[in-house]
Structure 1
Amino acid sequence: MKIDNSPPRGTRDLLPDSVAVRDHVLARISEVYHRYGYHRIETPALEDIRRLQGGDGGENEKLIFQVLKRGLGEQVEDGARVADLIDLGLRFDLTVPLVRFYANNHATLPSPFRAFQFAPVWRAERPQKGRYRQFYQCDIDLIGDGSVLAEVELIEATTEALDAIGITGTTVRLSDRRFLSALAAHVGLAEPEWAGFFIGLDKLDKIGWQGVRAELVDKRGLSASAVDNAQSIIEGLIGPAADKVADRLAEAVPTLPDEVVAEMATTVGCLADLGTGRPVRWEFDPTLVRGMGYYTGQIFEISHPESSSSVAGGGRYDKLVGRSLGKDIPACGFSLGFERIIDLIPDAPARSALAVLFEPEVPISYALERARQARAEGRETTVIRRSGKLPAQLNRVEGQGFTGFVHLRAVSTDGTVEPERPLGVVK
Structure 2
Amino acid sequence: MASVNPPRGMRDFLPAEKARRERVLAVIRERYRAHGFDEIETPVVEDYDRLHAGIGGDNEKLAYNVLKRGLDADAIRAGADDPRALSDLGLRYDLTVPLARFYASHRAELPSVFHAIQIAPVWRAERPQKGRYRQFMQCDIDVIGDAGPRAEAELIVATLDTLDALGLEGGSVRINDRRVLEWMLDTFGFAPDERAGVLITIDKLDKIGVDGVVAELRERGATPPAVDAFERFLKRPQTREFWPYGERQIRKALPEGAPDDVVSHLVGIGEAVAAARGGGDIPLVFDAFLVRGMGYYTGTIFELAHPSVTYSLGGGGRYDGMIGRFLGQDVPAVGFSIGFERIVDLVEAKADADERAIVLVHDRDVPLAELLALKNAFVADGVRVRLEQRTKNLKGLLDRAAADGYTAFATVAAGAALEELEVKPLS
TM-score (norm 2): 0.90
CA distance in 2, matches of 1:103, 1:341: 31
Q: Which residue of 2 aligns with 1:177?
A: 178
The worse-fitting range, judged by mean Cα deviation, of 241-250 and 228-237 is: 228-237
1:81 maps to 81
Partner of 1:330: 332
CA offset digits 1:251-307 (Å, max 9, x no partner): 7341x4322111111112233344546986321111111111111111110123444
- Taking the aligned partners of 1:277 and 1:410, their CA distance within structure 2 comes to 64
Cα contact 2:190–2:222 (8 A) shared by 1: no
Change (3 A) 1:248 1:238: farther
Of 321-330 and 212-221, the range deviating more from structure 2: 212-221
Give the secondary-structure state (helix, strand or coil) at the position aligned to 1:374: helix
Aligned to 1:263: 265
Determine the C-alpha separation between the residues in 2 that align with 1:19 and 1:154: 27
Q: Distance in 2 between matches of 1:37 and 1:59?
A: 32
Q: Is 2:169 the partner of 1:188? A: no
CA distance, structure 1, for counterparts of residue 362 and residue 11 of structure 2: 36
SS at the partner of 1:416?
A: helix
Name the SS for the 1:405 alignment partner: strand
- CA 1:235–1:45 in 2, change beyond 3 Å: closer, same or farther? farther
**What is the root-mean-square deviation in Å for CA atoms of aligned residues?**
2.6
2:25 is the counterpart of 1:26: yes
- Flag the 1:382–1:233 CA change in 2: closer, same or farther, 3 A: farther
* 3-state SS of paired residue (2:148): coil
Q: 1:340 to 1:165 in 2, by over 3 A?
A: same
The corresponding residue for 2:378 is 374
Correspondence 1:231-310 to 2 at 5 A = 231=234, 240-245=243-248, 248=251, 252-254=255-257, 256-276=258-278, 281-310=283-312
Which residue in the other structure is 2:425 paired with?
422
* Alpha carbons 1:202, 1:287 under 8 Å: kept: yes
State the alpha-carbon separation in 1 of the partners of residues 332 and 52 from structure 2: 22
1:322 to partner: Cα distance: 0.8
Note the C-alpha offset of 1:237. Answer: 11
Cross-structure match for 1:351: 354
In structure 2, C-alpha distance between the alignment counterparts of 1:26 and 1:279, rounded to whole Å: 29
Count residues in correspondence.
421
| 2:158 counterpart of 1:157 | yes
My pick for the range that moved more, 115-124 or 49-58, is 49-58
- How far, CA to CA, are the matches of 1:4 and 1:150 in structure 2? 48
Whichever residue aligns with residue 334 of structure 1, its letter is F
Match of 2:77, SS state, is coil
AA aligned opposite 2:61:
K
User: Greater shift after overlay, 399-408 or 60-69?
Assistant: 399-408
The 1:233/1:248 distance shift into structure 2, 3 A limit, reads farther
Bigger drift between 127-136 and 225-234 goes to 225-234
Letter in 2 for 1:102: Y
Q: Which moved more, 1:364-373 or 1:271-280?
A: 271-280
Sort the Cα spacing of 1:357 and 1:280 in 2 relative to 1 into closer, same or farther, 3 A.
farther
Task: Determine if contact 2:253/2:288 at 8 Å carries over to the other structure.
Answer: no
1:22-43 alpha-carbon deviations (Å, 9 max, x no partner) = 1111000111001111111111
Instruction: Using the TM superposition, give the Cα deviation of residue 12 of structure 1 relative to its aligned residue in structure 2, in angstroms.
Output: 1.6
**For the Cα contact (< 8 Å) 1:242–1:269, is it kept in 2?**
no
Match of 2:369 in 1: 365
Question: Matches of 2:237 and 2:50 in 1, distance apart?
Answer: 35
| Offset from partner CA, 1:218-265 (integer Å, 9 cap, x none) | 2242322232245257978996323444772697341x4322111111
Partner secondary structure for residue 293 of structure 1: coil
CA contact (8 A) 1:304 1:311 kept: yes
Query: Distance in 1 between the 2:311 and 2:196 partners?
Result: 22
Conservation of the 8 A alpha-carbon contact between 1:159 and 1:280: no
TM-score, scaled to structure 1: 0.90
* Structure 1 residue ranges without an equivalent (≥5): none
Pick which of 171-180 and 63-72 moved more: 63-72
1:94-146 deviations in Å (ceiling 9; x for gaps): 00010001111111112211110111111111111111111111100111111
3-state DSSP of counterpart to 1:310: coil
5+ residue gaps, structure 2: none
Q: Give the CA deviation at 1:338.
A: 0.8
CA distance in 1, matches of 2:319, 2:240: 24
> What is the match of residue 225 of structure 1?
228
**Corresponding position of 2:70:** 71
